[in-house]
Amino acid sequence: MSDQANNPPSFADQFSALRNQYTRNLGEALEDLSQRVSAHDSDIPSAVLEDAYARLHKLAGSGGTFGFHELTIQARALELTVKTWLKAERSPEPAEWQAWRAKLLSLHEAVEPAGVEGLSLPQKAPPAIKPRDHFKIVVVDDDEAIGAELRQGLSQFGYEVTSHTGFETAGPDILADPPDILVVDVMLSGHTPPEGTDAIAPLFEQLGRTLPVIFMTSRTDLQARLAAVQAGGDVFVTKPADAPTMAGHIEALLRQEEELPYKILIVDDDEPLAEHYRLALSSAGMTASKLTEPLTLLEEMHRLHPDLVLMDLHMPECSGADLAQALRYDEAWQTVPIVFLSAEEDVDLQVKAMVGGGDDFMTKPISMARLIAVVRARARRARQLTELMSQDSLTGLLKHASIKERLIQEASSAQRRGSPLAVAMVDIDLFKTVNDDWGHPMGDQVIKTLGNLLRQCLRRQDSVGRYGGEEFAAILPDCTAAAAFQKLDDIRRRFSEIRFVHQGESFGVTISVGIASSEEFPDAQGLLSAADLALYKAKRSGRNQVCVGALENAGR
């Protein structure tokens, strides 16, 4: 394998190469434009004006992006003059044309780059993929009993937990083997520093990066919360912080860390500029693709399923506004954000484009920092809204309809690939008693805890949904009935060991599980029915157990 394959060029190197290519092509583009306009002295055809307008518009948008800021200023002024002639549907007077052409010919003098913002961006390494049962949590609390309780309780959720009473011992542990999440008490009596919030900044400076932090404290005042915010805390928890509640916060943070990169589709006929945007977004950890042939947009949308479309407004084959509106005709793409990025400064045209189907409008040239910030914010919001529509509000798992739709997809895929698929139905035993004895808020806590445990202990490729009430459904691709039994029985055991605390009293809850495999039930409905029958058998046989559905029992 070549050295280039082993050591791909950095984003800074790629930006530099792209800028050099643009600079080489720029001289040719200006010379070609000069020759075209110099061929006419009077009675300038509209076709010549339209061609000059399009070329100047492109130069105005791209020049500043590659560091030629003066070129952008002069090209935009020339572009606006041509736009005035075209709008009035008249040919310029000879004196006007000569003066305008002289300014055009002087554009060569503006080819002096002033430096490009963002060329030194560091390459962002992709996050390391870790097994779901190997997340490390470090707890720092001066109360040894709290540390021990969280260590024992969180280990039932599959986390590797170590606890310390202060940063004197926690610091070396964190630096030697950085955890995935820190759980830190705000006040550490008798330790240096006495406040957990004061220890975070110097620790992260030594580590060279930040970590997700959950601050916990018995204080409820605003000053404690502000200290947590200023120290970079992600979550603020008031004591007593039991293990199920803490596991919920940890799982939410881990989901954020594991979030797949945003997929961005760039639609711009200017290839170097589209590549510049692609590199800028890729350097920020996004998965960006470019499309320079707008009429193939639908095919690309179905292939990529982007989180956001970044689109030019003026393109030769069609306008971005028309393209966006045509895309909105398809129900599948009605909620995908479309952000226009154009050198167009006419506010009326910007508003018209937004009304037609756009969500935001940015003008070229644009700084890389602003481009990345706007795209990331829009993509994050769109993904959050999509998740809200498909997720159960209490557990964050898939809703009933979404998990059934996922089952149909996975069953079809398993049939095509000839691979096994297991489905599990999970139900909380005697849940009405939990609500009656401990109250509905505690019942909700039990449901949330089971949801977190299922999500934590199952694999990334598995899907989990709240099927209804206290019942859950899990879909396990490439998994035999025997493997599913082993995994679900381990989850059953872990859940039975969790202690829930309410007003000083603790209690435990168990679950029953029914499993069905595509090895005996190949279609989605058959799998669901068989898993449900197996769950009924587990309940009828005494609860707190896992049963596997068999073909001979399917008709009973």
**Confidence at 101, pLDDT banded by 50, 70, 90:** confident
Q: Are 140 and 485 in contact (CB under 8 A)?
A: no
DSSP secondary-structure letter at 287?
A: E
Tokens of 510: 């168990």
Residue 167 is part of a domain; what is its CATH number?
A: 3.40.50.2300
Does 130 map to a domain? no
Pair (406, 548) in one structural domain: yes
pTM value? 0.59
Which secondary structure element, helix H or strand E, spans residue 274, and what is its range? helix 271-283
Pair (383, 454) in one structural domain: no
**Confidence at 156, pLDDT banded by 50, 70, 90:** confident
Does 128 map to a domain? no
| Rg over CA atoms, the chain | 30
**Confidence at 556, pLDDT banded by 50, 70, 90:** very low
Tokens of 9: 């060029």
Q: Report how far residue 340's alpha carbon sits from residue 336's, in angstroms, rounded to the nearest whole number.
A: 13
**Confidence at 239, pLDDT banded by 50, 70, 90:** confident
Q: What is the sign of the dihedral through the CA atoms of 396, 399, 405 and 411?
A: positive
Does 327 map to a domain? yes
Pair (527, 483) in one structural domain: yes
Amino acid identity at 308: L
The percent of residues above 90 in pLDDT, for the chain, comes to: 35
Chain Cα centroid distance, residue 514: 33
Pair (268, 234) in one structural domain: no
Backbone φ, ψ for residue 362 (5° rounding): -125, 145
Backbone φ, ψ for residue 118 (5° rounding): 95, 0
Pair (407, 491) in one structural domain: yes
The percent of residues above 70 in pLDDT, for the chain, comes to: 92
Residue 521 belongs to what domain range? 400-553
Pair (240, 351) in one structural domain: no
Q: Are 243 and 267 in contact (CB under 8 A)?
A: no
Pair (370, 416) in one structural domain: no
Question: Which whole-number Å values give the CA distances from 269 to 30, 60, 100, 245, 317, in the listed order?
Answer: 18, 15, 27, 51, 9
Pair (428, 461) in one structural domain: yes
**Which position has the higher pLDDT, 74 or 113?**
74
User: Which residues, listed in sequence order, are joined to residue 463 by a DSSP beta bridge?
Assistant: 475
First to last CA, the chain: 60
Pair (289, 365) in one structural domain: yes
Per-residue pLDDT tens for 471-498? 999 999 999 999 999 999 999 999 999 9
Question: Which whole-number Å values give the CA distances from 460 to 123, 286, 453, 475, 483, in the listed order?
Answer: 26, 20, 13, 11, 16
**Beta strands 471-477 and 505-507, pairing class:** unpaired
Pair (524, 539) in one structural domain: yes
Pair (404, 512) in one structural domain: yes
Pair (187, 304) in one structural domain: no
Residue 466 is part of a domain; what is its CATH number?
A: 3.30.70.270
The most confident of 147-156, 217-226, 415-424, by mean pLDDT = 415-424
Single out the residue in 212, 236, 258 at which a domain terminates: 258
Single out the residue in 209, 234, 258 at which a domain terminates: 258
Single out the residue in 243, 258, 273 at which a domain terminates: 258
How many structural domains does the chain have?
4
